[in-house]
Amino acid sequence: MALRVAIAGLGTVGAGVLKLLHQQAELLEERCGRRVMVAAVSARDRSRDRGVDLRGVRWYADATALAADPEIDIVVELIGGADGVARTLTEAALAAGKHVVTANKALLAVHGAALARLAEGKRAVLAYEAAVAGGIPIVKALREGLAANRVARVYGILNGTCNYILTTMREGRREFAEVLAEAQKLGYAELDPATDVDGIDAAHKLAILAALAYGSEVDFAGVHTEGIRHISALDIDYAGELGFRIKLIGHARMTEHGLEQRVTPVMVPLDSPIAHTEGVFNAVVVEGDFVGTALFQGRGAGAGPTASAVVADIIDIARGRQPVTFSVPADRLRAIPAAPMARHRGAYYIRLMVVDRPGVIADVTACLRDEQVSLESMLQRGRAPGESVPVVLTTHDTEEAAMRRALERIERLNSVIEPPRMIRIEA
- Catalytic annotation, pick one of 105, 140, 205, 247: 205
Query: How many CB atoms lie under 10 A from the CB of residue 389?
Result: 16
3-state secondary structure 252-263: EEEECCEEEEEE
- Integer Cα distance of 426 and 250 in angstroms: 11
- 205 catalytically annotated: yes
In whole angstroms, give the CA distance from residue 18 to residue 304. Answer: 11
Catalytic residues: 205
